[in-house]
Structure 1
Amino acid sequence: MMFKSTTLQLSQIFVFSCLLAACGGSDNNDSENEGSSSRSSSSSSASSDNPTEEPAFDLSLLPEVPTPTAPDTLPDGENTYFVSPDGSDDLAGTEADPFATLSHATRQAQPGDVIVMRGGEYFQTDTIQIRAPDSAHGTEEAPIIVIAHPGETPILDFEGQPLGNHGVRLDTDYWHLIGLTIRNAGHNGLGLEGSHNRLERLVVHDSYDTGINVGGLAAHNLIMNCDSYRNFDYAEERVGQDADGFGAKGNRLGEGNVFYGNRAWQNSDDGYDFWEAENTIVLYNNWAFNNGDPDAFGNPSNFDGNGNGFKVGRSEEDRNSHILYRNLAFDNRGPFDDSKGFDQNSNRGKLLVAHNTAYNNGRNFTFPTGDHIIRNNASLDGSNSVLNRSDQVNDNSWQLDGDLSASDFISLDTQAAYGERQADGSLPDIDLLKPAPDSILIDAGFDLEVPHEGEAPDIGAYERAAEGN
């Protein structure tokens, strides 16, 4: 069975978010939806006399769906510098006479330059600081690119780094980091506070805190096709409470940050955490699985990791209108078997949660308060707590007449999710959680005016392609 690749523009998501807002408030909903084995435990009424307001989404914030950087060629640069474990910072930085450290190379680079990292291990305990004035900003037309040599894996190893120190800090603008592995950092593997940057095909693991964290005033960054796993913080009292796979946190965080095609697994806290981020963040086509599992860290005493897949709050403001579209959350159970696949986490904004699939989490979808747009989502083997205030919460699998079961999916083999990515860095092409040909999810969704096969969209993260496509 073939499935369509998702090639929509992210701005199209906003088109149907506005349509969804217009759909709300046609009926009173004082009771749970019928035909569901895991319905919301709370609801309130909405009246057609008081239609739900249109969400405060800004269409200009979102780029087109990104095209992966070619994995088999090097980009042309104004100047091209090479870095190798066998090099020396006293050399010229050419392919024949490479530098030894990325830190040195970043201080030489100017807009339009390319830094090529050769494969091998680079051991250091000092943070790699990419920040002005020591490092230049790139420009929109001439970004500065740091890229792995095709077919090679450069590994930045911070074993022995003092706790509290980042592995890499990227605080400048218009830089692209592509194909690097970062491990054993004393705090974040990579801390990003610059803007208009692109992180692609990065692998970050075994950090003492969150693997990739976006903070400060960072805006308009793309985090694409990256893996972040087994990040773990060992605090004295609340072991594992802070280390997420990906974070975008703080009420100063800028607009336009996008996460696309990433995987987060076996992190001690959450897969993705957007604590107090008030500007819209887009989560599109990402996976979160097996987070918060103390077994992955030797079952330490006082383990307190949350283990949620996608956690999209908290804030005191009403503007946290994040978008979660076509993501997967599975096997996030935490230390007490009660972790959540998709978690509102007291977000007071208006969330758009559409075409996501949750499987075998302690709780699959938990949005117990607020006035969110939650449509066309699939949930199997996990409870749901979703406040249904209007027709904007509808057409989800738990609201169908029939019960969703394992037979509605081609595969539930979650081990396949750990496999190798495709050559261009895209997520593995596997059958996990794709609907079977006779699934009750097929043609059962609400038409959000995005491309689909059949009479209506399929519910869940995947759209089944027509035969022969």
Structure 2
Amino acid sequence: MSRRTALALGATLALGAGLAVLPTQAQAATVVVSTTADLTSAIKNATAGTVIQVRAGTYYPTATLQSTANGTSSSPVTLQAYGSETVKIDGSSLPAGDWIFKLTADYWNVSNLTFQNSPDSAVVCQSCTGTNWNNIKTINGGDSGFTLTGDGTVNNTVKNIDSYGNYDAAGHGENADGVAVKFGSGTGNLITGARLYNNSDDGIDFWSFSSPVTVEHTWSFGNGKNRWGDSAFAGDGNGYKLGGDGEVVAHVVNNSAAWDDAGNGFTENSNTGSIVINRTTAYANGKYGYYFATSSAKLGKNLAVGNGSAAVSKGSSVTSSGNNWDSGISTPSFVSTDASTTYNSRKSDGSLPATTFLTTGSTTIGATMN
């Protein structure tokens, strides 16, 4: 057998066994993994253009999966489930206080994976640029499900995430959010199509993040309720906590809804910036639908119904127009107040499930929900 034939046969066998195809100048590596050890190695050793495909099953890492390897805008690193297979990465074998996945890198695409039972936060992306997170789940963890943090957090997109059941026992529920964008800065970050529910603290939390973040077509519900029998429970339970720690930031929320949260549906949380809240719905939250007492927020075409304290608390610097608490604006009727369909499976493209819950048919006020 010639040396060339032997090399070709070796490459063919490697492909058939699902092993890595070594990168060349013309082709980056594709790695198909089916064990925790292989998954750990593939993430650690990824380079620009690497595609990591994870076969069906539940993986139990014993240390945080992490990488500092950058992709590029034209050659990102990809981490995804193999085809349509179901992949769960379970943190129950990790040491106390560990995260499941920590990324300190740029230009990664992560999709169709579930991160569950983390001792602490499930996924943390620190000072990342240009990452895309699509159709992932972060569930039943010991702190926030998904976190963007650090300076230089730029142009990241979190799309169609489900994050629920997260609870920090050590903090009596005070810290575990569905999605947290905290303690950092950087423009161009987008959260879209998120479903954030039954977390011990808030659905979304932008505490101490000094650059604007955009949220669109997102649902946040059932947060801040003591589902864990914690006698010292301290969860805040806001649907959208849009500030804190003295930062003045013009975050934007469009076409989103908050319901059945223990606290406020939408709140500035002491952020005095020009927050924009447009065509959203706050229904049956424990406190205010909209709490903007000190900010210069712009509230437009929002719908508040059945919230515990009142529809809105707004200071003199708030611009309010076209909302159902404004003069001359009527409150349309909901087609349904049965939320059961909001727990259904997502559509085939990963978007939120179809529902008539909180829909009104209006083209001028409230979240469309679909």
TM-score between both structures, scaled by the size of structure 1? 0.69
Equivalent residue letter for 1:325: N
Q: Distance in 1 between matches of 2:116 and 2:311?
A: 36
Would you say 1:81 and 2:31 are equivalent positions?
yes
Structure 1, gaps ≥5 residues long: 1-76, 86-98, 334-338, 437-441, 443-456, 465-469
Q: Give the number of equivalent residue pairs.
A: 340
1:202–1:227 CA contact under 8 A, matched in 2 = yes
RMSD after superposition = 1.9
Query: Which of 354, 364, 370 is equivalent to 1:458?
Result: 364
Would you say 1:260 and 2:197 are equivalent positions?
no
Superposition deviation, residue 109 in structure 1:
2.6
1:315–1:348 CA contact under 8 A, matched in 2 = no
Q: Secondary structure at the match of 1:215?
A: strand
Q: Distance in 2 between matches of 1:198 and 1:163?
A: 28
Superposition deviation, residue 400 in structure 1:
4.8
Query: Which of 39, 52, 61 is equivalent to 1:102?
Result: 39
The 5-angstrom pairing of residues 310-325 of structure 1 reads 310-318=240-248, 320-325=249-254
- Structure 1 match to 2:23: none
Poorly superposed stretches of 4+, deviation over 6 Å? none
1:410–1:431 CA contact under 8 A, matched in 2 = yes
TM-score between both structures, scaled by the size of structure 2? 0.87
- Structure 1 match to 2:109: 176
Equivalent residue letter for 1:364: G
2:268–2:295 CA contact under 8 A, matched in 1 = no
Would you say 1:416 and 2:341 are equivalent positions?
yes
Query: Which of 135, 139, 143 is equivalent to 2:72?
Result: 139
The 5-angstrom pairing of residues 329-368 of structure 1 reads 329-333=258-262, 339-362=263-286, 363-368=288-293
The 5-angstrom pairing of residues 52-451 of structure 1 reads 78-85=28-35, 100-131=37-68, 136-193=69-126, 194-217=128-151, 218-235=153-170, 238-250=171-183, 252-294=184-226, 296-297=227-228, 299-318=229-248, 320-333=249-262, 339-362=263-286, 363-382=288-307, 383-387=310-314, 389=316, 392-401=319-328, 404=331, 408-436=333-361, 442=362
Query: 1 or 2, which has the higher strand percentage?
Result: 2
Q: Distance in 2 between matches of 1:359 and 1:101?
A: 46
Superposition deviation, residue 392 in structure 1:
2.7
Structure 2, gaps ≥5 residues long: 1-26
1:103–1:130 CA contact under 8 A, matched in 2 = no
Q: Distance in 2 between matches of 1:463 and 1:293?
A: 23
What percentage of residue pairs aligned between the two structures are identical?
Answer: 32
Q: Secondary structure at the match of 1:105?
A: helix
Q: Secondary structure at the match of 1:258?
A: strand
- Taking a change above 3 Å as real, the CA distance of residues 230 and 172 of structure 1, as seen in their structure-2 partners, is same
1:245-292 CA-partner distances (Å, limit 9, x unpaired): 100011x32221110101110100000000011101001111100011
Q: Which sits farther off after the overlay, 109-118 or 387-396?
A: 387-396
- Taking a change above 3 Å as real, the CA distance of residues 192 and 391 of structure 1, as seen in their structure-2 partners, is closer
Superposition deviation, residue 147 in structure 1:
1.0
1:368–1:385 CA contact under 8 A, matched in 2 = no
